[in-house]
Amino acid sequence: MSDQNGGKSLEQALKKWSEQVEQKIKKRPERKAEFVNTSGIPVKRVYTPLDLSYSDYLSDIGLPGDYPFTRGVQPTMYRGRYWTMRQYAGFASAAESNKRYRFLLDQGQTGLSVAFDLPTQIGYDSDHEMALGEVGKVGVAIDSVKDMEILFHKIPLDQVSTSMTINAPAAILLAMYVVVAEQQGVPIEKLRGTIQNDILKEYSSRGTYIFPPKPSMRIITDIFSFCAREIPLWNTISISGYHIREAGSTAVQEVAFTLANGIAYVQAALDAGLDVDSFGPRLSFFFNAHLDFLEEVAKFRAIRRLWADIMAKRFKAQNPKSMMVRFHTQTAGCTLTAQQPKNNIVRVAFQALAAVLGGTQSLHTNSMDEALCLPSEEAVQIALRTQQLIAYESGVADTVDPLGGSYFMETLTQEIYERAKAYIDKIDEMGGAVEAIEKGYIQREIQDSAYTYQREIEKEERIVVGLNRFQTQEERPGHLLRVDPSVQKEQAESLKKLKAERDNEKVKQSLSTLQKAAQGGDNLMPFILEAVRSYATLGEICDLLRGIFGEYQQVSTLGN
């Protein structure tokens, strides 16, 4: 688009100005011969109205709360209420994590985010051989609904929203949450929260898969349809670019691979006979806030526009809510340095600000010590305060999409939108995200970007303050938070006790009906709920499903 009245004269003025600048920089060159952002998009010296390339303002950008939601999903955004401040936490035992959650709620946090340990995420009980050394390390260990009761002790589930980072066994953890709510007397239609439930990025980037794609997609669509009927406020999936980015992708790849996964979930649900507007409004997203500030803000804006396009045009959604990208953001863990860890406070603040200017619905800010260990209570508090500073002191929350209309911001938004779309077209040609992952295409693209990024750091083409420039001699901080190794033993003992005390006949029965359902085509959720109610363990349920569905084998993508 060009300025109707001033376009011609601006064009002339710009030409003249550029010639003058070219003369000047012959004597005094710029810092670099070429400026390119992390996605490989060239960044020009200056942007003017002549750069704006959208075809129509209302159909490509529009107003906040209106299609295609480039400027935000709500008309008032943070003038109505701030984003949800939601710190991902959990370690050791359910009792220990419960204490941390209540600390965070006391500190003004407004939502919970549960981190599970790796055995839980991969469907092993704490006494399994593969769980040795891992119990309680990166999150809380949950073996049965007994642990879940302790985890949410004195936290009324009708008053918090809870996000659970759980994927392959998401149906089981959701069932446990529902059973705890029943025990608290909370009607389940009142439950608010999210399960991550995004298996495709586990295959490509995060690694906590269990079953192969086909049965995994079935479980996911079972959850979509169960929640649409029973837990209407629940976000049934959090389609995640976060881990794709952490694994090394560029911003454009993060957008493209996440939305390609989103397309695969929608298609699977449609193929299972669901109506797009029955589950579309409960799809949620999760993105990374990385270092390149303006690129990140543009990324969030481009994501909203592209997904709205996909849902409206490709999948013919009618409900505007099906077209809206509501997303959680976490600042980029991979950008934290072990060197001069206090610098991380500042990195996180910039990244958090990008997320807010990008219109996030909820936010996790990393703690400064996370390149060293689990975050200490003090570090978590500073991280949460960073969000509160942005909200209450900076003023950026008082108008919607304040960077919208910047010539550079709009140009970059358009550029990311187009480049991500081209990637999605390519993935479509391969047969979709599942096929692209099975061929190793997405993994290779990500690892190539990661390698390039590392080489840039080592060649000092990319400066990391405190790491490859401005280094100082320093003592590493002591007093790191450690998980007591006795957690494993205690979990194993409680499991033994549970198996001795529960009604084992009931467990057997619930597992055998679940088995029949899994072999057939019924929705698995009601059967998983019954198994959980009977105090069957996570490992027992997952083992049974492993027997029927098999296990996913990773594709090798290193070398030629």
Partner 1 sequence: MAEKKKIRVLAAKPGLDGHDRGVKVVASALMDAGMEVIYTGLRQSPSQIVEAAIQEDVDVIAMSILSGAHDYLFPKVMDLLAEKDIRDILVIGGGIIPDEDIPALKASGIAEIFGPGTTTGDIIQYIRDQKSV
Question: From CA 442, how far away is CA 429, in angstroms rounded?
Answer: 13
DSSP, collapsed to helix, strand or coil, labels residue 90 as coil
Q: How far apart are the first and last CA of the chain?
A: 45
CB of 246 to partner 1, least distance (A): 7
| Element spanning 507, H or E | helix 504-519
Q: Which residues bind to partner 1, rule: CB under 8 A?
A: 118-119, 121-122, 124, 129-134, 137-138, 202, 206-208, 246-248, 334, 337-339, 371-374, 447, 450-451, 454, 457-458, 467, 476, 478, 480, 483, 485, 554, 556, 558-559
Report, in Å, the least distance between residue 450 CB and partner 1: 5
CA atoms of 221 and 266, how far apart (whole Å):
9
Cβ proximity to partner 1: between 206 and 282 the closer is: 206
Q: For residue 18, what are the contacts with CB-CB under 8 A and spacing of at least 6?
A: none
Maximum CA extent, the chain = 86
Between residues 232 and 477, which has the closer beta carbon with respect to partner 1? 477
Nearest 5°: the CA angle 506, 125, 496 is: 60
Structure tokens at 55: 């075809």
Q: Closer CB to partner 1, residue 372 or residue 383?
A: 372
User: ω into residue 68 within 30 of 0, thus cis?
Assistant: yes
Cβ at position 344, least distance to partner 1 in Å: 11
Toward partner 1, which CB reaches closer, 477 or 526?
A: 477
Whether 486 contacts 480, CB under 8 Å: no
Question: From CA 162, how far away is CA 297, in angstroms rounded?
Answer: 26
For partner 1, the closer of residues 261 and 360 by Cβ is: 261
**Which of residues 447 and 509 has its CB atom nearest to partner 1 in the complex?**
447
CA distance 367 to 159: 26
- The distance of closest approach from Cβ of residue 551 to partner 1 in the complex, given in angstroms and rounded to an integer, is 10
Contact between residue 328 and residue 195 where contact means Cβ atoms under 8 Å apart? no
**Which residues lie below 8 Å from residue 281, measured CB to CB, with a gap of 6+?**
319, 321, 322, 324
Residue closer to partner 1 by CB (options 444, 502) is: 444
In angstroms, what is the minimal distance from the CB of 113 to partner 1?
A: 18
Contact 269, 226 (CB under 8 A): no
| Shortest Å distance, C-beta 488 to partner 1 | 9
* Number of CB atoms found within 10 A of residue 154's CB: 8
CB closer to partner 1 out of 31 and 476: 476
DSSP state for residue 88 in the 8-state scheme: E
The CB-of-136 to partner 1 minimum distance in angstroms stands at 9
Q: How far is the CB of 111 from partner 1 (least distance, A)?
A: 25
Residue whose tokens read 């006795």: 486
For residue 292, the minimal CB distance to partner 1 (Å) is: 18
Residue 146 phi/psi, 5° resolution? -55, -45
Cβ nearer to partner 1, comparing 339 with 515: 339
Shortest CB 107 distance to partner 1, Å: 25
150 or 371: whose CB is closer to partner 1? 371
- Round to whole Å and give the CA distance between 375 and 369: 6
> Residue 233's closest CA among 272, 197, 182, 187?
187
